[in-house]
Structure 1
Amino acid sequence: MNVESSNIEAPPVPGNDASKFDEDGHPKRTGAHIITAVIGSGVLTLAWAIAQMGWIVGLTVLLAFSIITMFTSTLLADCYRAADGTRNYVYKDAVKSYLGGIKYKFCGVVQYSYLVGVTIGYSITTAISLVAMKKSLCFHKHGHNHDCTLSNNPFIVLFGLIQIVISQVPNFHELAFLSFIAAIMSFSYASIGLGLSIAKITGKKHAPTSITGKPITDSYSAEEKMWSCFAAIGNIAFAYAFAVVLIEIQDTIRSGAPESKVMKRASVVGILISTVFYMLCGVLGYAAFGNAAPGNFLTGYGFYDPYWLILTANLFIAIHLFGAYQVFAQPVFGAVEGWCRRRWPGNTFVSKEHKLGRLRVNLFRVVWRSVYVVFTTLVAMLLPFFNDFVGLLGAISFWPLAVFFPIEMYMVRAKISRWSCRGFFLQVLSGFCLVASLLAGAGSIRGLVHSLRTFELLQSRS
């Protein structure tokens, strides 16, 4: 599908207040969503990831992804406006204006595949957290040895129903309040996880750790460890893959502000803050759980008490993901709707807005977005594998969207020769990240295949 941009609004009609619109006829922008996208549910997997690789390699990989993401994000922020000064409303627009051709099409396939995948992953994660809330109450009432497992499916459906309603908000710019709440929630549950890890460590209940991570035994071969380490790289990559919506977020920066300067500063600050949280969660989570760290350190039940705090943390995760789902779904919504408006400009079903009190309702938007949410809900019920799914998403997105395209576009924009020292360095960095993404993808796919061998259709439980 040849989609040129998302979140496109019609230019102002005569009689409208021109002060409410930018120079290109689009509604004035009011804020950004960067923290919601930078700090996400990937933080929950980092204790497990470090447990696979050990102290030295695990922390080195985490720090390397942070530095690379910070660097390439500043390159990408410079590509928000094309050479002639026009705005690129979405990531694909930027790739088209600087690179064009097959790279533009490749970007579209990868970006939208990733965005769809994230919304599926967030459906899975939210359901697991909602189940964990009920399990907290169950364990508190019946004891830690009681069988409190529950089906994830009703909670995935509940999440989907709520998202159908939230998805009717017309565009990215009208979700600032939801993004703000989601950002607070992400800090809150990460902080609770840190506090619980510290309590477990100081209480001398933590498990042993090692320099090389989970040890090789008769039941855990060197080959299995290798594949687990590859999958762990994917989990860390997922935690740093916000570049996929960086241009879309930059397009929400308040009108009149220098977008590139503001976005660079916001990216650096956001990534620094997230890295501190990631390092603390990974380090303290691994120190608390040791080599047996669960895939999700707030739902894997290494923590049972205080039960109300576990319940609160998982409630915060769920609230955060209700908003984060929209940050990643809105570009998909806007892309399809923009294409349809261009394809059928006179079709009232596609383009006409109906007023319902203070709300604007478009029939096509209601149908299309509801169908999309139903689709992601069904796939989440069919593939409820948290760590391997997260790792695969990280592998798919990190190299092309967080490294390759930012570097390629920046080299074109800055007229950097591929044979110069700077150009050579950038290409070596891109090649290194490509290898890391391929290894991460291989490890995650192997994990998914193994999980599918024992999985019963629509029988997901946690």
Structure 2
Amino acid sequence: METGSEQTGSDRKLDHAHNGGELEMQQKSPFDGIESESGKLLDEDGRPQRTGNSWTATAHIITAVIGSGVLSLSWSFAQMGWIAGPLILFLFALCTWYTSKLLADCYRYPDPVTGKRNYIYMDAVRVNVSARSHFFCGIMQYSNLVGTSVGYTIATATSAVAVQKSNCYHKNGIRTDSEVDGHCLASTTSYIAIFGVIQIFLSQIPNFGELWWLSYVAAIMSFTYATIGLGLGIDKAAVGGHSYGSISGVKIGRDVTEAQKVWDVFSALGNMAFAYSFSMILIEIEDTIRAPAENRQMKRATSWGVSVTTAFYMSVAIAGYLAFGDAAPGNLLTGFFTPYWLVDFANVCIVIHLIGAYQVYTQPVYQFFERWVSRRWKRRSFHSKALIFKLPGKSSPRFELNWFRLIWRSVYVVITTIVAMLLPFFNSVLGIIGALAFWPLTVYYPVVMYMNQHKVPRWSRTWIALHSLSFITFLVSAAGVIGSVASIVTDLSEVKPFQKI
């Protein structure tokens, strides 16, 4: 005889199915992805599911941080000496690491784990600070990114010219004979053009998420040429018979005038600041990381990236300063002529690295403009039309060519290439842009966003400490700008476009 509390078999099945469905719904996280009609997984914001992690983010950071600027740090040490040089470089690293951790929490708003995503740095500034700050941030961020792409174009061509001249010297010898020296003259123009053609093809990579393989290659190349520079520096330092540097760096009166010493120290500060000016793309990098807890993964990647790059920076700078003393060249590798094949290989690695680094710095520019166009002309589809290519075979991949992306990105590359040809001394201008961008983008905005997000009380210890950090870095950036302006004045009087060197 059944009682009212008993269930039939069918009732138990229904109840079990119901409870199981509730349990499944409770266990399913909104970060697990949503399946679209085409079968692709989407994140909670409707975009293709992010697949990045701490390792891919670390590769992006290393690619962005370790550039050809690492080879100028020995010269920076020579301007400051053995005490101030390493100490200031370490302080730059510590400051960048700390403010980058603050910035990682600003990817989502208002909650750093479950809040709404900010796809770009400017979006984070808008929601955490104000619309006016969003506007000024955009000007500084994207002018820096565009300037960096021009500077990397010139730096790549310079390394290519170094290979050509090294081979010429190896064949003809380094002489004062005008005929031999004439054979070894080279121009960066043709190499800049070749670099531009390569970037037109690579610029069709749709977004940061599909750029991971290029970042891995570029990161390996950066380690390679930095290691070669380190090895050559150690080898030359071990030979002896030369100065190993000094406590105060280049001497006033013996090496430079008092005014030149001040400008060179300021310029060295600008070089160090630019070496760590990568915060403007951290939000974009974080937008490639899979959910949940992107901020924790990004903080881990930032710690790894800054630690590894600082170790390389310090090692290369110290080895180069030991090798050349106060006469350290602006580019460490230009001070070595033997073994030719190794120096050539190092310069080739620089070229490959900067090809990838160019994309890391220009992808945010591409995506910003393409988002603006899609919002401006929502009802038109010219910006989303694409041509599908499929290779023969059932399982062969399909390739999508977006006409708008092809045209506009190609135009951008052509423009930056022409500017690089016309302004071969643009590295000095880049120093200004880097110095201007370091304080607001690496320190000021992350600090202000953190204080607004966590509602830090005015005049508390944290409030005073963060504002003090911001003020000190402002003074350092201002000094870097002054030094870079002085370098530009010198460059304008010495360098002409399309001139062979």
Partner of 1:160: 196
Give the aligned residue type for 1:175.
Answer: L
Worse-matched range after superposition: 357-366 or 213-222: 213-222
User: Does 2:316 align with 1:276?
Assistant: no
Match of 2:37 in 1: 15
Corresponding position of 1:126: 156
Q: Give the partner amino acid of 1:280.
A: S
Deviation at 1:268, TM superposition (A): 1.0
Counterparts of 1:212-251 in structure 2, within 5 Å, are: 212-217=248-253, 220-251=256-287
Distance in 1 (alpha carbons) for counterparts of 2:285 and 2:319: 31
Deviations 1:381-438, CA, capped at 9 Å, x for gaps: 2222265244223202210110000000000111102311110110010000001001
Tell me, in whole angstroms, the C-alpha distance in 2 between the residues paired with 1:171 and 1:421.
41
2:46 corresponds to = 25
Pair 1:331 & 2:364 matched? yes
Please give the alpha-carbon distance, in whole angstroms, between the structure 2 residues aligned to 1:384 and 1:52: 24
Paired residues of 1:136 and 1:308 also in contact (CA < 8 A): no
1:138 counterpart = 2:168:
yes
Partner residue in 1 for 2:205: 169
Q: Which residue of 2 aligns with 1:370?
A: 410
Q: Distance in 2 between matches of 1:91 and 1:176?
A: 20
- How many correspondences in the alignment? 447
Residue 192 of structure 1 deviates from its aligned partner by: 0.5
Q: Call closer, same or farther: CA 1:14–1:247 in 2, change over 3 Å.
A: closer
The answer as to whether partners of 1:53 and 1:214 remain within 8 angstroms in 2 is yes
Shift of 1:13: 10
Matched position secondary structure for 1:347: coil
Match of 1:311 among 326, 332, 344: 344
Match of 1:188 in 2: 224
Query: Which stretch shows the higher mean deviation, 69-78 or 283-292?
Result: 283-292
- In the superposition, the TM-score normalised over structure 2's length comes to 0.86
For residue 200 of structure 1, the aligned residue among 236, 245, 257 is 236
Unaligned runs of 5+ in 2: 1-32, 391-397
Larger radius of gyration: 2
Structure 1 pair 398–49 and aligned structure 2 pair: CA distance change class (3 A) = same
Aligned mates of 1:251, 1:238 — CA distance in 2: 23
The range that moved more, 61-70 or 49-58, is 49-58
> Counterparts of 1:368 and 1:97 in 2: how far apart (Å)?
29
The 5 A counterparts of 1:344-423 are: 344-357=377-390, 358-385=398-425, 388-423=428-463
TM-superposed CA distance for 1:348, in Å, is 3.1
Give the equivalent residue in structure 2 for 1:69. Answer: 96
Change (3 A) 1:341 1:386: closer
Q: Is the 8 A contact 1:399 1:434 kept in 2?
A: yes
Quote the Cα distance in structure 2 between the aligned partners of 1:419 and 1:171: 42
Assess if the C-alpha contact under 8 Å between 2:267 and 2:483 holds in 1: yes
Judge which range, 356-365 or 233-242, deviates more: 356-365
Q: Determine helix, strand or coil for the equivalent of 2:331.
A: coil
Equivalent in the alignment of 2:294 = 259
SS in 1 for 2:419: helix
Query: Which residue of the other structure, out of 294, 304, 322, is the alignment partner of 1:287?
Result: 322
Provide the C-alpha distance between the structure 1 equivalents of 2:356 and 2:198, rounded to a whole number of angstroms. Answer: 11
Secondary structure in 1 aligned to 2:332?
A: coil
Identity of aligned residues (%): 51
Structure 1 unmatched ranges of 5 or more: 1-10
TM-score of the aligned structures, taking structure 1 as reference length: 0.93
Give the CA deviation at 1:57: 1.4
Distance 1:80 1:345, change over 3 A: same
Alignment partner, residue 454 of structure 1: 494
* Counterpart in the other structure of 1:99: 129
- Deviation readout 1:140-191 (Å, 9 max, x if unpaired): 1112335323101111111011101110111111111101101111111100
Give the match's secondary structure for 2:388: strand
Q: Distance in 1 between matches of 2:293 and 2:228?
A: 36
Q: Which amino acid aligns with 1:172?
A: F
Cα RMSD after superposing both structures = 1.8
* Letter aligned with residue 47 of structure 2: H
Within 2, Cα distance between the matches of 1:100 and 1:331? 21
Change (3 A) 1:192 1:389: farther
User: For residues 159 and 70 of structure 1, what CA distance do their matches in structure 2 show?
Assistant: 32
Q: What is aligned with 2:64?
A: 37
Alignment partner, residue 22 of structure 2: none
Contact 2:424 2:497 in 1 (8 A): no
SS at match of 1:350: coil
1:6 corresponds in structure 2 to none
Contact kept? 2:244, 2:321, Cα under 8 Å: no
Deviation per CA, 1:40-63: give whole Å up to 9, x if none. 222111011111111111112101
Structure 2 CA distance for partners of 1:208 and 1:38, relative to 1, 3 Å? closer
Give the counterpart letter for 2:66 in structure 1: I
CA distance in 2, matches of 1:234, 1:408: 23
Give the residue type in structure 1 aligned to 2:407: V
Q: Which has the higher contact order (CA 8 A, sep 6+)?
A: 1
Whether the 8 Å CA contact 1:52–1:228 is kept in 2: the answer is yes
1:457 positional shift = 2.8
Q: Which amino acid aligns with 1:153?
A: T
Measure the CA separation in 2 of the matches of 1:389 and 1:53: 22
Greater CA drift, 350-359 or 129-138: 350-359
Cα gap change, 1:390 to 1:200, in 2 (>3 Å): farther
